[in-house]
Structure 1
Amino acid sequence: MPMRDQTDPGTTEPIPSRLLLGYARVSTDDQDLTNQRAELHAVGCTKIFSEKITGTRRDRPELARMLDHLRPGDIVTVTRLDRLARSTRDLLDIAEHIQSGGAGLRSLAEPWADTTTPAGRMVMTVFAGIAEFERSLIVERTRSGRVAAKARGVKFGPRPTLTHVQVKHARQLIDQGDHTVSEVAKLLGVHRTTLYRAIAR
């Protein structure tokens, strides 16, 4: 007869133990991961994912492996938050991914960033609100700037591929009848349609 797990007398199946997963990162190959790994080992991390890659990149293989490895109840631990993310938005996205999997996040250098506690979750919620507020301000400033620029006569959209001088020269070549539109377009290094649009303006 199977033994009951002592931590849960209501089940005959053992409950998977919580894992402390560490993540360590440095930006360049000549930097050392030893200190970060030692700190993470010291607090009980049983598995540490480490890599040498800039934090501005989202395609970090070891970070992806760690997130895939997460199970409910696990806790991701970093020595500092800037080892995990280089922007508030990036941090919140990663923290949300961790939380959606039923896991937690904590930083040794920033004890307030501990989503396993109510206070830590509240702080991250405030951060999310601030990030959304900042994003809204940027959108509003951009919109207001475009409106003001249009009022001054500024035109938006892609810049013309051909300069005014090139278009004038192209018209002359075509009007002389010595060259076709296709030949002139090839001479200028643009598609025939692009040249048609330019000389039609």
Structure 2
Amino acid sequence: MSDIIGYARVSTDGQSVSDQIVQLKAAGATKVLSEKLSGARFDRPQLRKAITALGKGDVLIITRLDRLARSSRDLLNILHEVSESGAAFKSLADAWADTTTPHGKLMVTILGGLAEFERSLIKARTDVGIRRAREAGVKFGRPSKLTKHQQRQAIKLLDAGEPQSAVARLLNVDQSTISRLVARARGKNGGMPASLDLSGCQKARRTLLRSGSFGRGIPSGQRRRAPA
């Protein structure tokens, strides 16, 4: 025998679910689950219990759609779960939201199509905005810890055979920062050039120390002295 399970909700403790429970029982609900939580929350225990209790041929009923969801996307997600269990859904105050009838099923299908169309439009606008921003030179992601000058000098030191750990200490950054710099350089150049000798390494080191570039952008309390 099919069950009719009711779900009632109010947002605050100052409100009462009594009226909703009366309406749901009058509509034939054999069991009513209720809670006092915001409809914007996804983790509603009593709603989860109501959906879990549904079986094939059962019906989940509510008094109004806003008791169940705050957006069309949330509503469609919940209705999908109800449908997956083989149950139907009905809103007492919204005649079109009744999947126990062919007309109601059609309306929910149309709503789902509109929501999908809206989502595709949002994605398309977002993609266009990102592409235009990139064309305008906008950089996405976290800002680099090293200035362009520091990056060039670090590459020179690495080219001359200086270990990544030593370069990281000189610039007061984590070795992972230097590793990412190396990976980017290899990706652009197809491999790190090896055209510099030790004199180039020493020159780059002196340039960093003389210009005060090492440690730039690092809080003063975290700076370490550069090796002699």
Please report the TM-score for the alignment, with normalisation by the length of structure 1: 0.73
**Aligned partners of 1:162, 1:102: CA distance in 2, in Å?**
55
Q: Relative to structure 2, which stretch is displaced further, 109-118 or 19-28?
A: 19-28
2:39 aligned with 1:62, yes or no? no
Larger radius of gyration: 2
**Aligned partners of 1:98, 1:90: CA distance in 2, in Å?**
13
Please tell me the residue identity of whatever aligns with 2:142.
R
C-alpha displacement of 1:96: 1.4
C-alpha displacement of 1:29: 2.4
Per-residue deviation, residues 43-63 of structure 1 (Å, max 9, x unmatched): 121100111111122121111
Residue of structure 1 in register with 2:142 after alignment: 159
Residue of structure 2 in register with 1:138 after alignment: 122
Q: Number of matched residues?
A: 171
2:37 aligns with one of 37, 40, 53: 53
C-alpha displacement of 1:194: 3.8
Q: Secondary structure at the match of 1:141?
A: helix
Q: Secondary structure at the match of 1:112?
A: strand
Residue of structure 2 in register with 1:147 after alignment: 131
2:53 aligned with 1:35, yes or no? no
Please report the TM-score for the alignment, with normalisation by the length of structure 2: 0.65
**Quick one: structure 1 residues 195 and 31, their matched pair in 2 at CA, closer, same or farther if it must change by over 3 Å?**
farther
**Aligned partners of 1:183, 1:60: CA distance in 2, in Å?**
53
Residue of structure 1 in register with 2:223 after alignment: none
Please tell me the residue identity of whatever aligns with 1:193.
S
Per-residue deviation, residues 76-125 of structure 1 (Å, max 9, x unmatched): 11011111111111111111111122211010110110000000000000
2:101 aligns with one of 105, 114, 117: 117
Please tell me the residue identity of whatever aligns with 2:6.
G
Q: Secondary structure at the match of 1:113?
A: strand
Q: Secondary structure at the match of 1:111?
A: strand
2:77 aligned with 1:93, yes or no? yes
Residue of structure 2 in register with 1:21 after alignment: 5
**Aligned partners of 1:27, 1:52: CA distance in 2, in Å?**
5
Per-residue deviation, residues 131-162 of structure 1 (Å, max 9, x unmatched): 00001001100111111111211112x22275
Per residue, is there more helix in 1 or in 2? 2
Note the residue ranges of structure 2 that are not aligned, 5 or more in a row: 155-165, 186-228
**Aligned partners of 1:30, 1:195: CA distance in 2, in Å?**
58
Please tell me the residue identity of whatever aligns with 2:130.
R
